[in-house]
A = this chain, B = another copy of it.
Amino acid sequence: MGARARQFYIIVFSFLTLLALSSAFQGKKQYKPCKSLILFFHDIIYNGKNAANATSAIVAAPEGANLTILAGQFHFGNIAVFDDPITLDNNLHSKPVGRAQGLYIYDTKNTFTAWLGFAFVLNSTDHQGTINFLGADPILAKSRDISIVGGTGDFFMHRGVATIMTDAFEGEVYFRLRLHIKFYECW
């Protein structure tokens, strides 16, 4: 085998190896976001005693449950309405850059899952506009994805996926979510 041919085989072999490795490690295409943001929001659930600080309230409950204590069976059937501050870091007392507004619904009887429908209403020097989210949230999973189905203002017509992580969870009164917002359709 001449030097040229050997060189050729080495190149082809390296290429095939890379191909095999990449398909082993990464089952499907990876897309790069055209825009991304990391934001936190903070939810303080009304429990009958914290009216001044609460940012959300239970407004519907299954039979036998009430509106100040989350329902017994993994909160199945509770609907909460929220208006939560959004911050750039994980500090509840940081200056908010907007509000997360909408609802979450506990929707399973034998584990903690929720359905989320809400908007980010951003109003800062960096971002003016809204982002609309929708999706299933298997709360106990370390990281879970919901859909970004539209936006307005700076986020006009954007679509994408948001990866949620529970950044803090204190009793049944406070939780903080970290959203990695990844837009794959920008305008």
Contact = CB atoms under 8 A, between A and B. Distances in A.
Contacts of A145: 130, 152-153
Contact of A101 (B67, B107, B147, B187): B107
SS of A interface (majority): strand
A46 B146 CA distance: 28
Interface stretch (A13-21, A88-96, A134-142, A166-174): A134-142
Copies in the complex: 3
Interface string A22-59: 00000011010000000000000010100000000111
Interface of A: 28-29, 31, 46, 48, 57-63, 66-68, 76-79, 81-83, 99, 101-103, 105-109, 113, 115, 117-119, 121, 130, 132, 134-136, 138, 145-154, 156-157, 159-161, 184-185, 187
